[in-house]
Structure 1
């Protein structure tokens, strides 16, 4: 089995391609799901990218974070400024990450082979996958709570099924969790294109729902809102909180900036990535911020209380029909966020681990089963697990990003020999030492140690908001200092990599 190409895209000159044999493809590194996306199969437009963010930016977790800023003492304009700072930084980072996927057409685990080696890439892929798979289960559980409220509102007698406990979950809890679990597995079983279609459907639903909720709250508050609480921050404390919140907004997307190529590998053009990111990140984030300010300010105007989530408002809607519609929208939202943020990454990680045995559908089912058997509601209710296990894994994402981006953009100048990402020949561009790049692993380990210290040492708590930036920056600097610059390879065209096929 060997790779062939449709146009010049490998190391060397175009003239060399007529007689140069491409390296043999290893079945340990290749299957159809890991292969570069065919040009004809690139269906993701600017709207597709936009709807990713139309869903993810408006996730319940993000609303909880932003509403918490109001509780901490930031007023309306300060919240918008903080989110705006974070959105600009995120817009730039996502474009750089997205361009990598568009040029090569490969998913994140294969992209990681460039810096970490063909076997060393398992390290970033499994770390990213482990974070995602735990949160897939947790987010499904949180969505099941909304579904429970909805079902009890429609059929009050179901409340009796919500009083017992089976492995930490009530009978109704199991029914709602398994129901949502099946829906997500069904969607994923049809591949990335079905996920694209679902995101395209969910995006407008979410935007209309959240804007409508904000308008309803505005009129409930007498067409007036409070722009800040009674404990509004001033001076240096205010600015520290603003910049800290902006940095945290980027950190929230530490997972996405790492594996954004899983989605942009199917983008039609670089322009579609930039356009989708522009409307989906800076513009959509400001809309999100405006909704947050109205929701928080209106509730504070009504009774002096600060809401923690839009779901708190939904539960108070007096009209049953409107309550059901709003709850359904929140369910649609949570499933959309879960699919793209927490389902795709472990699927590719598992496929990369066992390419001969797993494809997208099988890896999706295994990911979902793991997300079920870990009993995620028990994880979510255990602060130690959330803080130390998931928090610790999250602290490793910045170092991974720093190494991968420094290698791709600063050392290789975006030149990649795609066919050699799938070969185990010892003189291959990404074989390094037995398939591992020791220099990338060293840079990652140094930055990861510092990142974990910032995350867990109380004396360094003041830096915690900026830990992702410290970790990514340190990893990039260390890697640039020790990288083997003689292992730089070039493609021919400089355009999106031509797509190999298997014979």
Structure 2
């Protein structure tokens, strides 16, 4: 027999489960069945080594060199920022690994079952942008492959304007080929995709070994000094942190597949900054070689590879470029799926669950991301960094509210069925499905950073405002966290814990999880009756 944690009494469950609202619920938004929780600690550790193993990760690594820092200073800034965001990612995704539900469902606990739509829309925008960005970068890889085979593709007249330098007419062909290859893999079930993580990592490592080489730039010092250097260091630490703001907010989307909750914590806390350190190191070294070969710093490694192919179109160079580009292309495909398609699919499914499943969301995201013209974002290093930093003010405010809700207000205790119901008796109904406390905290978290946010898009702002904006992510996170806590103290919601004890279950199993019927396995569950409010423990006979 197996002990299984069941929320509430049978009558309670039937009353609430039968009242799941069609605009809030579908199979993809419900807790992952036990049989599909297949990601172990090894999966999560290698996940980030594989997920960050893409040429797109090189971009952030080399922009610090363009700002005047040395290679090693840039790497140190990147590592510091990634350690900070890894900690936020792990603690914010904890609810996903325990309750096995996605970000769109979790955010309803703090913003309300209807109010949760706006945070999902916020995150949808960013995931769509990143889906397009990675598709452009993957298209560049595919273009190099095609260029190595067909030299005439480089002679196609360019119809793109000059400021769309990340993509030319030949690159558009590569983009289309890459899009077709990526969408062909989207039919694979998510739990079965973990094996492609390991294959992808092998491909990328082999490509980097062939592409790498240390140039004199790697041994040069910084070109900025004094106070200016200090501010640049601060800027890039938080840029590298904010670069992964989407991961921190939607961590539950991939942590929900954990076999056990702790499988997703320590491996990511270590693996995430380690992976970005290794990829950043390779990115800076590869970028520095362009100074030796061409006399200029080429921050896009794919552009560097194509430049080498253009300069020397010998059979040896063509073969090398093809296989390097093939490895980069394969890496980009699965990075796009894990980092963009899966979160976008979860978000879009939450916006219209009656008609959109996660898989349908994959394909919708692929189409919409193209319409956003993402090649403009990748036109220059400076514009790319601006996009990395700009949207952080919205995501940091959402993350701050979510963290406060789970750790302070709910004390780790979610009534999962109430996340899918519009019954006024539901714990997360608040006021007509909206929690004003979360929205006030959200606005207060954005307000101090909004002036600096305008400066990113060309509005003239003071030097002080520019520097204050360097710290936009922690400012938004802390202010929204404290504001939400204070508002809940002044006007306690029904879901606010009246006791100080921690109420998180060891692992949640949904009452309707049919995979547990007849299960004799040693599933780790709650056995302490006092751990949760209104919890009944049932013994399932094998």
Q: Shorter chain as normaliser: what TM range?
A: 0.7 to 0.9
Contact preservation (8 Å) 2:218, 2:288: yes
Distance in structure 1 (CA, Å) of the matches to 2:263 and 2:156: 48
- Normalised by the length of structure 1, the TM-score is 0.86
The answer to whether 1:228 aligns with 2:233 is no
- Matched position secondary structure for 1:351: helix
8 Å CA contact retained: 2:287, 2:300:
no
**What is the CA-CA distance between 1:402 and the residue it aligns to?**
0.9
1:102-122 per-residue CA deviation (whole Å, 9 max, x = no partner) reads 011101100111101111111
Higher helix share: 1
* Pairing 1:200-279 to 2, within 5 Å after superposition: 200-214=198-212, 217-218=213-214, 221=215, 226-229=218-221, 232-279=223-270
Aligned in 2, Cα 1:449/1:61: closer, same or farther, shift over 3 Å? Answer: farther
Confirm whether residue 314 of structure 1 aligns to residue 268 of structure 2. Answer: no
Query: What is the match of residue 14 of structure 1?
Result: none
**Matching residue of 1:498:** 509
Alpha-carbon deviations, 1:403-459, whole Å to 9, x = none?
111111122121111121111110111111111111101111222233322222422
| Kept after mapping to 1: 8 A contact 2:90/2:269 | no
Deviations 1:246-275 (A, max 9, x none): 211110000010001100000112332234
CA contact (8 A) 2:243 2:389 kept: no
Aligned 8 A contact 1:133 1:370 in 2 = yes
The Cα shift of 1:7 comes to 3.0
CA distance in structure 1 between the aligned counterparts of 2:394 and 2:171, rounded to whole angstroms: 33
Verify the 8 A CA contact 2:6 2:511 in the aligned structure 1: no
Is residue 2:485 matched to residue 1:480?
yes
Shift of 1:276: 2.8
Q: 1:102 corresponds to which residue?
A: 97
1:418/1:497 contact within 8 Å kept? no
**Contact map agreement 2:242 2:389 (CA 8 A) in 1:** no
Report the 3-state secondary structure (helix = DSSP H, G, I; strand = E; otherwise coil) of the residue aligned with 1:35.
Answer: coil
Name the stretch that deviates more: 479-488 or 261-270. 479-488
1:47 aligns with 2:39: no
Q: Could you say what secondary structure the match of 1:356 adopts? A: coil
Contact kept? 2:52, 2:279, Cα under 8 Å: yes
Distance 1:301 1:383 in 2: 20
Report the alpha carbon displacement of residue 198 of structure 1 after superposing the two structures with TM: 3.0
Local SS of the residue matching 1:7: strand
Partner Cα distance (2:470, 2:136) in 1: 27
Match of 1:57 among 43, 47, 52: 52
Unaligned runs of 5+ in 1: 12-16
**Paired residues of 1:136 and 1:338 also in contact (CA < 8 A):** yes
SS of 2:142 mapped into structure 1: helix
Shift of 1:194: 4.7
- Relative to 1, partners in 2 of residues 1:56 and 1:466: Cα closer, same or farther, differing over 3 Å? farther
- Cα distance in 2 for residues equivalent to 1:285 and 1:299: 21
1:195–1:339 CA contact under 8 A, matched in 2: no
Change (3 A) 1:365 1:389: same
Q: Partners of 2:387 and 2:241 in 1: how far apart?
A: 21
Give the whole-Å Cα distance in 1 for the aligned partners of 2:152 and 2:53.
32
Q: Which residue among 437, 440, 443 is the counterpart of 1:442?
A: 440
Counterpart secondary structure, 2:335: helix
The Cα shift of 1:18 comes to 5.8
Deviation at 1:53, TM superposition (A): 2.0
The answer to whether the aligner puts 1:284 opposite 2:275 as a matched pair is: yes
Query: Is the 1:406–1:480 Cα contact (8 Å) retained in structure 2?
Result: yes
- 2:525 alignment counterpart: none
Superposition RMSD in Å: 3.2
Partner of 2:176: 178
Alpha-carbon separation, structure 2, partners of 1:466 and 1:107? 28
Matches within 5 A, 1:346-361: 346-361=344-359
2:116 aligned with 1:121: yes
**Do 1:117 and 1:436's aligned partners in 2 also have CA atoms closer than 8 Å?**
yes
> SS where residue 185 of structure 2 aligns?
helix
1:10 aligns with 2:7: yes
- TM-score, structure 2 length as denominator? 0.81
Match of 2:454 among 456, 459, 472: 456
Q: How far did 1:291 drift?
A: 2.1
Partner of 2:125: 130
Correspondence for 1:112: 107
1:467 aligns with 2:472: yes
Alpha-carbon displacement from aligned partner over 1:129-178 (angstroms, at most 9, x marks no partner)? 12211331232123223322321221112334454569x98764443322
Give, in whole Å, the separation in 2 of the partners of 1:386 and 1:305. Answer: 19
Q: What is the distance in 2 between the residues matched to 1:455 and 1:84? A: 24
- Determine the C-alpha separation between the residues in 1 that align with 2:327 and 2:64: 24
Measure the CA separation in 1 of the matches of 2:251 and 2:108.
16
Which runs of no fewer than 5 residues in structure 2 stay unpaired? 456-460, 515-542
How far is the alpha carbon of 1:82 from its aligned partner? 1.5
2:419 maps to what in 1?
421
Change (3 A) 1:426 1:383: farther
Does the 8 Å contact 2:89/2:251 carry over to 1?
A: yes
Q: Does 1:362 align with 2:360?
A: yes
Counterpart among 63, 73, 93 of residue 68 in structure 1:
63
Q: Which moved more, 1:169-178 or 1:473-482?
A: 169-178
